[in-house]
Amino acid sequence: MPRFTFLGSGSQLAWVVSIALLSVPIPASAQTETAKPVFVDGQAQVVPAFANASEWIHEQLWVETEFDSDKNGKRDRVHVDVTRQKQTGADGLRVPVIYESSPYFAGTASGRAILWDVQHELGVDPPARTIHPSIGFNANRKSVSNSLISTWVPRGFAVVHSEATGTGLSSGSPTVGGAPERLAPKAVIDWLNGRAKGYTTLDGQTEIRAEWCTGKVGMTGTSYDGTIPVAAATTGVKGLEAIIPVAPNTSYYHYYRSNGLVRSPGGYLGEDIDSLYDFINSGDPVQREAGNRLYRDGAFAKGQDRRTGDYNAFWAEHDLLPFTKNIKCAVLMAHAFNDWNVVPEHSVRISQAIKGRVPLVQYFHQGGHGGDPPLELMNKWFTRFLYDVQNGIEKGPKAYIVRESAPSSPRPAPTPYDDYPNPAASPVSFFLTSGGKTAGGLSPVKPVKQSTEELTDDVSLDATKLVQAADSPNRLLYATPELTAPVHLSGTARVTIRLAASAAAANLSVYLVQLPWTVGPIGTANLITRGWADPQNAKSLTKGGDYHSMERGTPLKPGEFVTLTFDLEPDDQIIPVGKRIGLMILSSDHDFTLWPKPGTKLTVDLDATRIILPVVGGSAAFKLAVGDR
């Protein structure tokens, strides 16, 4: 007789039928029954019959797209590999797919010679970038990548990889945020659903079909590889059921500019969209010249505008936000609050746009670039939406945040929250009181009329040195009283500054910090958040929010005051007892902005300058933390 063995508990129960031998012989059909996925506690489990890597089926193919990125008169084809269980062959098992696409799989350029020289004055044409390395090409590669396979194939998912257009063995040209980066993964998903054609060779006509696929696809990846799932989702392609983007770049303007200012991604001073093109241009050398002409030396050179940093039609074409209305899949968004390469606004802006329209959960940690959500969370997400297991993941907490910990400690488990930003957070305005050359005050109480204070730009002094200086003419610093209770900030801080400059152009950088500053890596022990803006764009910077103004910046009139409002990077941080919250204003940022010669003066009107902080518990919580001081 059958015996039912219970394998787990929770919202999704897993049962396996085992046959008690007794005196009844096992039917031949039972001896040869095809292995199937197993789910326990709402998660796909490793199935021993799926776990033997030597039995996996590997396929290589080229999927034809609907575009011609290098304008050679032929539709681009993207190089794809598939790894699936042997049971999807003769046994006829059909499985969903976890898919990753990347421009990095075939290798990248090395060295920093592809970066722009940042040591020049503002508002002038920069020195030409003349070094364009050639990435090695291997026409005999038989696969794309091994990532994800060992995690997901044993759990009952096939894994698919593709090389981005113009990289590796894919034809066409890299477009770095152009339409092909949305349409190429769409073509692969269409192929998995029988709507597009795949071929056994780059230029042949022998077709290969994905009859083993259920048609349900999930995507994941980190950084550029995390951008592509969002890009694919913005097409609304049928079959893409769930994505887990990790640190995605959702706007190349937000990656290379901030509020009208030329601003590099952290760790890559001088990088711009054309140098990223050189970094990934790994396709067939025969096709590279066409791409160079069309994109790097054509559209990019014309549109990127390192002279002003202004937003324009070129940057609008390389932004995913306008396409978010097409997103239909479930989104588990992951980012780090101390990611200064792809800053956290990239994820938050997309999450805010889709919130309430599709299943959405946000995961954040306090570290740097990258960092997947816990495997349990990823497993439940893909299991729910690719296998339709009703595990309730989309009905639980809408945000998971890893709380602060010492840099040497292992990353703790995330804390669940109702949402991000924390629904209990409300805006609290803080005003400045004089003394910024040492440390003035920062308080919710607006002071009586004050004068102005001045700083002198000197890019040779990085922000970490300036914030530690007891007295400095090169920054202005304002701080709250010491906290006697923790203060939880959750959301986006917004700063309004009224200033005048002694030159026609100036950088503006703003840091929100913990004082005393803890010496060591940037993180939750010292930095809260930061942001940058171009005072020449003051007319556009009146409300904060996602900067998309097409209005051109205008040169400053020396000594004439302008007012600008802009957002710092989103954050969620608990400031501990014994710390002070500090606002530091400086001009050029050694690690992020252009490097003009020292000497430009910024004069700040204290009465017209403030910062709004998202405080959990609002003004009452902050008052409790500082008392009547």
Beta-strand ranges (E) seen in 52-169 are 57-64, 77-84, 95-102, 158-163
Taking the CA atoms of 348, 351, 356 and 360 in sequence, report the sign of the dihedral they define. Answer: negative
Answer yes or no: 451 catalytic: no
How many CB atoms lie under 10 A from the CB of residue 203? 9
Helices (H), 78-216: 149-152, 180-192
| Residue 143 annotated among the catalytic residues of the structure | no
For residues 455 and 507, the answer to whether their CB atoms sit within 8 Å is: no
Strand partners, 533: 508
Q: What is the CB-side half-sphere exposure of residue 279 using CA atoms within 13 A? A: 18
Catalytic hit among 335, 346, 369, 590: 369
Helices (H) and strands (E) in the chain, counts: 13, 31
What is the helix (H) or strand (E) element at residue 254, kind and residue range?
Answer: helix 252-256
**How far are the Cα atoms of 22, 292, 600 from residue 499, in angstroms, in the given order?**
88, 42, 13
Nearest residue to 546 (alpha-carbon basis) of 262, 320, 242, 332 = 320
Sole residue written with tokens 């890019």: 459
Residues 6+ apart with CB under 8 A from 315: 251, 252, 253, 257, 303
From the list 223, 258, 282, 426, the catalytic residue is 223
Task: Answer yes or no: are the C-beta atoms of 39 and 383 closer than 8 Å.
Answer: yes
Q: 339, 457, 458, 572: which is the annotated catalytic residue?
A: 339
Could you confirm whether 369 is annotated as catalytic? yes
**Which active-site residues does the annotation give?**
223, 339, 369
